[in-house]
Amino acid sequence: MANAKKVWGGRFQKPTAKSVEKFTASIHYDKRLYQYDIEGSIAHAAMLAKQGIIAKGEAEKIVAALTAIKKDVEKGKIAFNPSDEDIHMAIEKELISRIGDTGGKLHTARSRNDQVVLDVRLFLRAEIDNVLSLLKALQSQLVRSAKSEIKTIMPGYTHMQKAQPVLLSHYLLAFWEMLERDGQRLRDCRGRVDILPLGAAALAGTSLPIDRSYTAKLLDFPQVSKNSMDTVADRDFIAEFIFASSLVMMHLSRFCEDLILWSSDEFGFVEISDAYTTGSSIMPQKKNPDVAELIRGKAARVYGDLFAIMTLLKGLPMAYNRDLQEDKEPLFDAVDTVKDCLQIFTEAIGQTKFNAARMYAAAQGGFSTATDVAEYLVRKGVPFRESHEIVGKIVAYCIKNKKTMDELLLIEYQKFYKGFTADIKESIKLEKAINSRSHKGGTATAAVLERIREIEKNSGNI
Ligand code: ARG
């Protein structure tokens, strides 16, 4: 009989072309959803029995067989092949081959259209938790580094030009803040993932007396979806997750860009551990920051995943369309990439040595405390625009005479403004410049330590 083995084969006269089987199959990648598919089916069977749609004994048989199938998949005992089409069909086929007609009752009041969304939601809910703990681990590492580098002074940059001195800890905690927002976004997204889709069936629900709240309770979903058509058409939660992941990758990529620059001979600000760098096949002296470069590169992959999902969705008519099968590879890729990158970056940053002496020396150059001189004059009553002009002239004088502001004599300062007094020398010290920025969010040691205390208090366990 044509298509005898296909669960949907009833109306077909000819077998599916081999090329079509291969082309339409998603089993080679959606097989990673197997545990969620089985978990969802177990809950569904229990609900069907509770509602009297199938017999209790039948549900027990189904649940026992599904549990055994799960173990066998884990042991690699079940071979999936393209004729199985997707993980839902593969498991159902296996079930029916084990328990016969009873197995055929599992798909009552359900369609693959709501089933696949269920699997993906269960998968993503778990993976978001994994990403969140990796984010937290990186944040903890940053706090540890910020504490141990609390005395390290570096030049802060704008336009990639030396701007003002800052604490390295302040720099590190800037990334902590970015990752904190990433965590907030992911938790927010998780709330929209955590919704039971089952019951929507193909698109219009079912005439059978299901109890969706019961299934939701079994699967620990706080909500059930509100519209059956939206339920099978919606992939917003995937797009949201990939967007949130894109931002995580962007943050890591920016951090990596600094580390790549800083590990160059020209900067010499950091030394990434040998264990997290690689060599060149031709130049024996090379120690390359490949891990950081690859993370920067992999940000592009995740942006690609985001583009794929956004483009996939934009022209789809209501409700389910097979195009939606293309949602999983970008999602899986984004999950895997963001997790890998967070993991390895956390390891690498923990093994990176900061060269405090080089950073300090660099912070001393470039007239990085010129703004402090301008603010010194403001304290003497000079309007800021005027003091800016005066200090600009002092800088030009220093450049012309090959002097630093530290080397200028008081009388030289006074040539530009009579009110300069001896304390100007103190005002342009890096430590003084840093510690005078003691307001909330500033780079003063006290302000940074205060932020660390706040972070530790709020997260309890860092
Ligand atoms: N493999 C499909 C997907 O990932 C499952 C749903 C298929 N539904 C259908 N009616 N063909 O979207």
**Confidence band (pLDDT; 50, 70, 90) for 5?**
low
From 57, 39, 68, 62, select the one nearest 108 (Cα to Cα). Answer: 62
pLDDT tens digits along 288-307: 899 999 999 999 999 999 99
Distance (Å, rounded) from C-alpha 106 to C-alpha 96? 9
CB 437 within 8 A of CB 443: yes
pLDDT tens digits along 78-91: 999 888 999 999 99
**CATH domain 362-459 topology:** Ribonucleotide Reductase Protein R1; domain 1 (1.10.40)
**Position with higher pLDDT, 144 vs 11:** 144
Q: Assess whether 44 carries a catalytic annotation.
A: no
Atom index in ligand 1 nearest the CA of residue 86 equals 1
**pLDDT of res. 462:** 43
Distance from the alpha carbon of residue 298 to the mean position of ligand 1, in angstroms: 29
pLDDT at residue 283 tops 90 = no
Distance (Å, rounded) from C-alpha 133 to C-alpha 365? 40
Distance (Å, rounded) from C-alpha 143 to C-alpha 156? 19
Q: In CATH, what class is 113-160+167-211+226-357? A: mainly alpha
**pLDDT of res. 9:** 79
**pLDDT of res. 1:** 39
**Confidence band (pLDDT; 50, 70, 90) for 2?**
very low
Q: Which of 129-133, 281-285, 368-372 has the lowest mean pLDDT?
A: 281-285
Distance from the alpha carbon of residue 215 to the mean position of ligand 1, in angstroms: 21
State percent of the chain over pLDDT 90.
90
Mean pLDDT of 98-116: 98
What are residue 167's DSSP bridge partners?
A: 153
Segments of the chain assigned to CATH 1.20.200.10: 113-160+167-211+226-357
For helices 34-50 and 112-148, angle between their N-to-C axes, nearest 10 degrees: 130
Q: Which of 107-116, 281-290, 311-320 has the lowest mean pLDDT?
A: 281-290
pLDDT tens digits along 141-173: 999 999 999 999 999 999 999 999 999 999 999
Distance from the alpha carbon of residue 27 to the mean position of ligand 1, in angstroms: 11
Mean pLDDT of 93-108: 97
330: CB partners within 8 A, 6+ apart: 238, 242, 304, 305, 306, 308, 309
Distance (Å, rounded) from C-alpha 285 to C-alpha 292? 19
- 3-class secondary-structure state, position 26: coil
From 133, 132, 136, select the one nearest 191 (Cα to Cα). Answer: 132
Query: Which residues have CB under 6 Å of ligand 1?
Result: 26, 86, 112-113, 116, 322, 324-325
Is the peptide bond prior to 109 cis by the omega test (within 30 degrees of 0)? Answer: no
Q: How many helices (H) and strands (E) does the chain have?
A: 19, 6
pLDDT at residue 135 tops 70 = yes
Segments of the chain assigned to CATH 1.10.40.30: 362-459
Radius of gyration of the chain (CA): 31
Distance (Å, rounded) from C-alpha 175 to C-alpha 453? 17
Which residue, judged by its Cα, is nearest atom 12 of ligand 1? 325
Q: Assess whether 280 carries a catalytic annotation.
A: yes
Atom index in ligand 1 nearest the CA of residue 116 equals 5
Q: How many angstroms separate the Cα of 434 from the Cα of each of 4, 155, 283, 369? A: 77, 11, 41, 9
Which residue, judged by its Cα, is nearest atom 4 of ligand 1? 325
Segments of the chain assigned to CATH 1.10.275.10: 16-108
Mean pLDDT of 261-289: 87
From 86, 87, 81, 76, select the one nearest 39 (Cα to Cα). Answer: 87
400-405: long-range contacts at Cβ-Cβ below 8 A with a sequence spacing of 24 or more? 404/364, 404/365, 404/367, 405/367, 405/369, 405/370, 405/373
Distance from the alpha carbon of residue 43 to the mean position of ligand 1, in angstroms: 20
**CATH domain 16-108 topology:** Fumarase C; Chain B, domain 1 (1.10.275)
**Ligand 1 pocket check: which of 16, 30, 86, 231 to mutate, most ligand atoms within 8 Å of Cβ?**
86
Mean pLDDT of 95-113: 98
Q: Which of 28-37, 134-143, 194-203, 273-282 has the lowest mean pLDDT?
A: 273-282
Mean pLDDT of 235-263: 98
Q: Which tokens go with 61?
A: 């048989």
Q: How many angstroms separate the Cα of 206 from the Cα of each of 104, 111, 198, 211? A: 17, 10, 11, 11
**Confidence band (pLDDT; 50, 70, 90) for 187?**
very high
pLDDT tens digits along 352-402: 999 999 999 999 988 999 999 999 999 999 999 999 999 999 999 999 999
**pLDDT of res. 243:** 98
337 phi/psi in degrees, rounded to 5:
-70, -45
**pLDDT of res. 11:** 84
CB 3 within 8 A of CB 16: yes
The residue from 159, 207, 281, 439 that is catalytic is: 159
State the average pLDDT for the chain. 95
- In 3-state terms, the chain is what percent helix, strand and coil (to 5)? 65, 5, 30
**pLDDT of res. 460:** 58
**pLDDT of res. 175:** 98
